[in-house]
Every structure is written in C-alpha cells, then in structure tokens.
Chains A and B, each alone.
Chain A
Amino acid sequence: MFSATSLNRKNDRNETAVRWLLGGMTGLLVLPVVVILSVLVYKGGPVISFEFLFTTPTKGMTAGGIFPALLGTVLLVICALLASVPFGIAAAIYLSEYAPDNWLTRVINLAIINLAGVPSIVHALFGLGAFVVFFRFGTSILAASLTLAIMTLPVVIVATRESLQSVPHAFREACWNMGATRWQTIRRIILPNAVTGILTGVILEVCRTAGETAPILFTGAAFFLPLLPQSVFDQTMALSLHLFVVSTQVPNMPEGVPYGVALVLIAMVLIMNSLSIALRMYLRGRKKW
C-alpha cells in the first residue's frame, strides 16, 4: 500500500539533491567571512595593543598607533547620525502615517529607493559640490558627515517605515475611534512598538557609515594630520581611508599594520552588529502582541 512509485522515488532524489545544493551554497557564503576574519586576526592580532589604539602614528605612519583615525571615524559616525536620524525618522513617519496614497508619495518612495542605489562616489562628488564648495564648509568633519548622512538616509527611512508598518493597523483604528489624533496615536501606540526596528535600522546605518571611504575622501578625510581635530570645521583622519593609505601609499610599511587597522575597523562594525542583534532579541522577548 505504501510502496514507492517511480514518481515518489524521483521526488525523493530531488528533495535530497536540492537540500544538498542549497546547503552547499550557504556553506560557500560563510567561507569568505570565516577566511577574512581568521586572516585578519592571525596577521593583525599581534599588532593590536593599547599603544596601537591610543597613540598617534609616527615615522611616516609606519610606527605608532591609529588613534586619530579611530577618533575620526567615531566623530564622523556620530555627526552623521545626528544629521540623518532625526530627518530620516521624521520622513519615515510622514510617509508611513500621514502621506496620502497618491502619485507624489509613490514618486517620493521611488526616489528614496533610488537614492539608496546611488554609488557612493557620486555622493562624494555631490558632497564636494554642495557642502564643501557651495555651503563653504571646506573639507571638514561637518561636510564629510553630512555627505555620509545623505548617503545613509535611505537606510534609516526604509527601516523606520517598515517597522512602523509592522505595527498592526487595528491598533491605529482602535485609537482613532477613541478620538485620538494621528500624532497621539503615533506617540502613544505606534512609536513605542516600532522602536526596535528603528534602532536596528540606525545601528545598521552606523555599520555602513563606519566603513565608507569614497564619500569622505573629497569632503573631509585627511591622509595624515599631526594634530587631532579641534572642531567640526577641521579635517580628520578616518579608519577606512587610513587603511587605504597604509596598504598602498606608504613604502616600507610593516606587514602587520594594515591588517591591524582592518581588524579594528571590522571589530567596530561587528561589535555594533552584535549589539543590534542583542537589542533586537531583548526587545522581541518583550513583544506585546
């Protein structure tokens, strides 16, 4: 009664084949990550020390530490966040909760998706034209972080909009029927329940911002600076550009230094990522519906 027909056997074989194929491809994807991380730790690990992290480069950057670049990246990320998060969240709230569903809204949504697809070097040239030249910020932390902010804005908007949309519509209707305005509904019900997704989006943005090189190349990142930046109108060093410099631009560079810089950069991103995952797990545990 349950003897296998030839069709059963064929389906069975396909099932096994597909499982191995999909599994194998997933394994291949993991491979580069593992290789990159192990090479970085193996070659860059010995370089990392307190001195490496917290002193200025010396002897044409072949010795000393990377503190100015590390500080610069942190400053750029913070300034970019300060600029993009309020604008991004405000725009997302408008698009998700207020905008009527008409052609203009659809065009704006399309524009945001396209903005995410613009190559970073184009953003860099825009930043150069707009912030450095037109607004006369010069090559500075301000110009560079504004460029980064514009580049990462779509990530914030899309993540925020999606987490707002994930709050059930019935909650809105229940609130509106009680005589709540749209804003009261957003503030009391929707935002508190969307905050997980918004935070995740923001942290993702941080990761992207930290690693970007092209947008800050023309707008505020410096090859080498003897002094730390004093204000947002100064130039700064940054880890990503520093990595490029120590890998290709300086003769007689000790082999470990570029790996060390890369390791620090990737560690920053990984730490932020893990934070984001931990936060998401924590907040999902408190999910209320």
Chain B
Amino acid sequence: MVTVTAPQGATPHLEVRDLTIHYKQFAALENVSLEVRQNEIFGIIGPANAGKTSLLKAINRMDLFDSSMRVEGQILFNGINTRKVRNVYGLRRQIGVVFPLPVGLPLSVYDNVALAPRLAGTKNRSDLDVIVERCLRRAALWDEVKDRLMALGSLLSGGQQQRLTIARALSQEPQMLMLDEFSIAVDPVTTMRIEDVLKELKKEVSIILVTNLVQQARRLADRTAFFLDGKCIETAVTEDLFTGAVQDQRTRDYVEGRFG
C-alpha cells in the first residue's frame, strides 16, 4: 500500500491548541493539540469515551447549545480562532458534519439536501435543483433516488440515508467534512461505496474521520491520531501506525487489537 502524505509545509486547515473540554466536572478532553492539513483525511481512532465526538462538537461550536459543556484552548480554522468568531452560523456552514446514526430529517429527499442552501437564503428553484443534483451525485446517491426526490428522506434505507446526510453536509459547500463513526449503521457494501466517495471528496475538502474501525482509518486516512481517555496519545502518518513505527505501547496495542 502506498502511503499518501498530505503536502508538507502548507498552512494547516484546522489547528487545535491545548484543547480541554469539561462537561460539568468531568474532563472529556485534556490538552489536545493537533492539526488537519488541506485536503487530507485525518483519522481519529480510539475507544469509547476517548473524547472524539467532543472534539468535533467543539470544532463546530456546538458548545453554545450545551450549557454543561466548557471549552478551553484554541481552535484555529483557516488561521482564525473559532472561539472568538462572532458569526458561528457562518463557521458551521464551512464545516459539514455526518453523525454515527443517519439523521434523515422528516423532509423529502430534495428538501433534505436543499435545506442548507435555503437556510443560507437561496430561493431560486433552478439553482436549488442544480445544487441538489450535484450533491446527490457527489454522495453517490443520485442514481438511486433521482426518480423519487419528493419521497421522504427518512424512508430510505440506512445506507442511503447516510449518503443523504453526506449530500446534505456537502450542500453547505463546506471546506471541511467531519464524519463521526459514519459506518456504524451501514452495511459493508455501502460502507465501501461511501469510502470511495470520501476518497474523491478529499480533492475538494479536508476530512476529519472519526472511526472505531482501525482498518477503516488505515484504508482512508493520510494521518491518524489515537485518542484514549480524553488524551491524544499520538498522531502519525497512518501507515506508520500499522508498521510498528509508533512511539506509544498503548497505540500499538490498540491498533493490533490487543487492548485492555
């Protein structure tokens, strides 16, 4: 397998500095620093409660919707400190999110994908038609749903719904895509299709891929971080994690499935 490394030296697309997240007294994430480069897939692996999802929430400023969540540290997106950004809605539009369980909003397939452009003020029907078709194609769903765009999105199969959420995330024209264990409720064949989609999308956006499937990280991620108990144990070029060039014994144990 050829190791694909993101271009070195470019400004990081996203930079996390000394990030600590508390829920009330509980520390979900402690002093995490990492960077995501332009057009790379950055994998995050680690067991449950490692703080992976909390990191994604903090990046998208979802702490504003959760009064128990306290975030310290810096997150720079395109070099701008998101902790200080006034227009958080604009920030969130730059970052698309895909959840573990597909969330087909109770709208038609069309309206699901057209929601974000509409929220951003696009009203023209033909403009929306173009966006919807393009996003569904990019998510490899167009051929399956083009004849029933007006059917309810929540009636699609699990795998289709997950691609629908990807199409929806793309409809925001984001610069970055964050996927949180997207394959949990998706069958292996669909997972492979989505993985192919992600490899294509990498050309246009940076991707953070949180996954509990170590092999998925190996297949997709350029670099991978290993999280454990709220700490980022180490970040390395993905292939190094699997060829033994890791610094921490815990990473090796996790990657090789000898954990606990």
Chain A interface, DSSP helix/strand/loop, else mixed: helix
CB distance from B100 to the nearest CB of A (A): 10
Partner of B99, one of A174, A181, A193: A174
A233 to B39, CA, bound (A): 71
A193 to B62, CA, bound (A): 23
Which chain A positions have C-beta within 8 A of B93? 178-179
Given A101-B67, A177-B96, 6 extra CB contacts under 8 A: A173-B62, A177-B95, A178-B116, A178-B169, A179-B172, A289-B106
| Partner-A contacts on B (CB < 8 A) | 60, 62, 65, 67, 89-93, 95-97, 99, 101, 103-107, 115-116, 119-120, 152, 154, 165, 168-169, 172
A289 to B168, CA, bound (A): 18
A175 to B96, CA, bound (A): 11
Which chain B positions have C-beta within 8 A of A100? 67
Asked whether, in the complex, the Cβ of B92 is within 8 Å of the Cβ of A176, the reply is yes
Partner of B103, one of A170, A180, A181: A170
Which chain B positions have C-beta within 8 A of A173? 62, 65, 99, 103
Contact A174 B105, CB 8 Å, known A101-B67, A179-B119: yes
CB distance from B224 to the nearest CB of A (A): 23
CB distance from A244 to the nearest CB of B (A): 47
| Partner-B contacts on A (CB < 8 A) | 100-102, 170-181, 184, 188-189, 192-193, 288-289
Which chain B positions have C-beta within 8 A of A176? 62, 65, 92
Asked whether, in the complex, the Cβ of A178 is within 8 Å of the Cβ of B106, the reply is no
Asked whether, in the complex, the Cβ of A170 is within 8 Å of the Cβ of B115, the reply is no
Which chain B positions have C-beta within 8 A of A289? 104, 106, 154
Q: For residue B64, which residue of chain A has the nearest CB?
A: A176
Which chain B positions have C-beta within 8 A of A193? 106
Contact A171 B62, CB 8 Å, known A178-B119, A184-B119, A288-B154: no
Which chain B positions have C-beta within 8 A of A188? 115, 119
CB distance from B83 to the nearest CB of A (A): 17
Asked whether, in the complex, the Cβ of A175 is within 8 Å of the Cβ of B62, the reply is no
The 10 closest A-B pairs by CB, nearest first: A288-B106, A179-B93, A179-B92, A177-B97, A174-B103, A179-B89, A178-B116, A170-B103, A289-B154, A180-B119
Which chain B positions have C-beta within 8 A of A192? 106
A172 to B107, CA, bound (A): 14
Asked whether, in the complex, the Cβ of A170 is within 8 Å of the Cβ of B101, the reply is yes
Which chain B positions have C-beta within 8 A of A174? 97, 99, 103, 105, 165, 168
Which chain A positions have C-beta within 8 A of B104? 289
Which chain A positions have C-beta within 8 A of B97? 174, 177
Q: For residue A100, which residue of chain B has the nearest CB?
A: B67
Contact A179 B99, CB 8 Å, known A100-B67, A189-B106, A288-B152: no
Contact A175 B99, CB 8 Å, known A100-B67, A288-B152, A289-B154: no
Partner of A179, one of B101, B103, B120: B120
Contact A171 B106, CB 8 Å, known A101-B67, A177-B92: yes
A176 to B169, CA, bound (A): 12
A137 to B115, CA, bound (A): 48
Q: For residue B154, which residue of chain A has the nearest CB?
A: A289
22 A-B contacts (beta carbon < 8 Å): A102-B67, A171-B103, A171-B106, A172-B65, A173-B65, A174-B99, A174-B103, A175-B105, A176-B62, A177-B60, A177-B92, A177-B96, A178-B93, A179-B172, A181-B89, A184-B119, A188-B119, A192-B106, A193-B106, A288-B152, A288-B154, A289-B106
A96 to B167, CA, bound (A): 30
Partner of A189, one of B105, B120, B152, B169: B105
Q: Interface centre among B95, B101, B105, by most A CB within 10 Å?
A: B105
